[in-house]
Amino acid sequence: MGCFDFYDDVKRHWDRFKKWLTENFPEAKATLRKGASEADIQELEKSLKVKLPVPTRILYRFCDGQECQTDDFESIGSMGLIGGYSFYGHLVNVYLIPLSHIIMETKEIRRQLHFPGRDKYVVLASSSTYSEKFFFLNCTNGQLYVGTKNLLSDGEIIPCVPNALISLGHSFNSDQQQDLCCYEENFKFINLFPEEPSHCSIAVTNGM
């Protein structure tokens, strides 16, 4: 697949997602940063000695992550684009982080962790809640990984979203959207596990 094909695919998905945010979660849309420049991306690649996969480069040209510098902890904990879940008070909500934060977080993680090939991974997203999680992009094969509870002790990471884990239940060209918003007490957030209707096939959810 050529770069133009990737661009068209990323733009189509990104436009649909922004439309969904506008209609369902404008508070989260307000956290989107403007797209990064090519120079910004090259600075990250030079600093971390990696080459970002083409789809990731294109995504960051549209949006340089989310603004997440605020003293309002409860607010920051609920607006992650990648979503999360709440289970018996265990709250995870994941942000797409800006390039500058990717550089900072990745360098810090590389100093702390010792797992094979760690130099080809970058921290692409993280949870802003007390239940901290890190998501790693393998820049060689484009696979996304999540750190387990053994991340700090053993450097354990596992692949995210196995094949066929999630089915939207609608055709790609359908205007219908799965209702991903969850309302819990005073919080509104993107829920990775929508309860009604069920659109998830039977599978083990790695790292959650």
Query: What are the pLDDT digits (tens) for 90-118?
Result: 778 888 999 999 999 999 999 888 767 88
Within 10 angstroms of residue 70's Cβ, the number of other Cβ atoms is 12
Query: What are the pLDDT digits (tens) for 175-201?
Result: 444 445 555 555 555 665 555 544 555
pLDDT over 90 percentage in the chain: 37
Alpha carbon distance 167, 93 (integer Å)? 21
* 155 or 16: which leads in pLDDT: 16
Alpha carbon distance 185, 35 (integer Å)? 33
Alpha carbon distance 156, 145 (integer Å)? 10
User: What's the confidence (pLDDT) of residue 100?
Assistant: 96
Residue 200 per-residue DSSP state: B
Query: What are the pLDDT digits (tens) for 136-177?
Result: 999 999 999 988 888 888 888 888 865 544 443 344 444 444
What is the pTM assigned to this prediction? Answer: 0.75
Domains of the chain listed by start with CATH number: 3-190 (3.40.1580.10)
Within 10 angstroms of residue 56's Cβ, the number of other Cβ atoms is 19
Residue 37 per-residue DSSP state: P
